[in-house]
Amino acid sequence: MKDLEPAKKILKMIVKRNRSKNSLKIHQHDYLFKIVQKIGMAKCKPINVPLVEHFILSKPQCPSSESKILKMENIPYANVIGTIMYSMTNTRLDLAYSISLLSRFMSDLRKIY
């Protein structure tokens, strides 16, 4: 048997333990930042609330021209939603509403212009 020291990272989650304060913190900041960089949104303005309640998405907002539909084929929409959903189930419960709303549009992957 071998002592591997206290865990620092488990399944892409960073574990920070403070024995003097009896606290244990788990976060996925680096994992989420990699996702944001991958989809080209690293320089976007951060906000406290991921998606406000009165924000409404609907199918009529999606463009119907072939050129705009072809642009969406290069964007890994379903992959990004699934990746963020993994983070949501582990450490970011505040993303649940946003992800559930956005995942409804995985069947019609067209950008809103």
Q: Where are the domains of the chain?
A: 9-103
Distance between CA atoms of residues 14 and 30, nearest Å:
8
* Top mean-pLDDT range of 21-25, 27-31, 85-89: 21-25
Instruction: Note the pLDDT of residue 63.
Output: 60
Q: Is 113 helix (H, G, I), strand (E, B) or coil?
A: coil
Say which residue, 111 or 53, is predicted with more confidence: 53
Alpha helices in 5-44 (DSSP H): 29-38
Instruction: Note the pLDDT of residue 113.
Output: 43
**Residue 2 pLDDT > 50, yes or no?**
yes
Answer whether 26's CB lies under 8 Å from 14's CB.
yes
Mean pLDDT of 72-101: 82
Mean pLDDT of 96-100: 84
**Residue 12 pLDDT > 70, yes or no?**
yes
Instruction: Note the pLDDT of residue 3.
Output: 83
Distance between CA atoms of residues 21 and 19, nearest Å:
5
Residues 6+ apart with CB under 8 A from 48: none
Answer whether 110's CB lies under 8 Å from 63's CB.
yes
Please name the amino acid found at residue 3: D
User: By CB neighbour count within 10 A (0-12 exposed, 13-18 middle, 19+ buried), where does 65 fall?
Assistant: exposed
pLDDT, mean over the chain: 80
Weakest mean pLDDT among 33-37, 39-43, 88-92, 109-113: 109-113
